[in-house]
Amino acid sequence: MKFFVDTADIKEIKDLAATGMVDGVTTNPSLAAKSGKKFVELITEICAVCPGPVSAEVTALDHATMMKEAEVLRKIAKNVTIKVPLTPDGLKTCKALSDDGTMVNVTLCFSPAQALLAAKAGAAFISPFVGRLDDVGQDGMELIDDICTIYRNYGFATEVLVASIRHPMHVVEAAKIGAHVATMPPATLRQLFNHPLTDKGLKAFMDDWAKTGQSIL
């Protein structure tokens, strides 16, 4: 499974990229607004740090303007992935960009039917939002299972990018189902390292080593 970090914080991206855990970056208008930077400059900076796919979302709602915005964004770097909403105009834009060799991430997916449409439009990634479904009493992971099954049935190349991840178990369950990518906030990615028995075991090792009075250096 690939790990994407869902943030526009350059310091966080650099720090996590140093662990070798970051395969890509996802952003959205809300995250970009929090950064306080101009959007094109922000995406340029992220692409320089992360060689993997970097999702840059259009803000237009109509196809013609989406295409104009995409033309600006995809010139930034070869690893820019244009992010479009799962709407008729978004899928029309996805089809046009995909046919032209540009990676497209179709976002705000909440049903298997929507995911099927995105795959047929040539999306490189589909972003189902598991946390937001959980918030309204639906099982977000059931959606991931359904999408993965449908894509396997027909051999779609579209990768399932699990979004709106709230905790490590979302990541584990998505991996068990066979999703291709999990995108998560930096704090959630760091939580994957944590286990009390790891901390306890390390403390015991260090305590025993200290008693020997030795030093490797």
What's the CA gap between 96 and 80, in Å, rounded?
16
Catalytic residue among 34, 38, 78, 83: 83
Active site residue 68: no
What's the CA gap between 134 and 148, in Å, rounded?
18
Question: Would you name the residues annotated as active-site residues?
Answer: 83
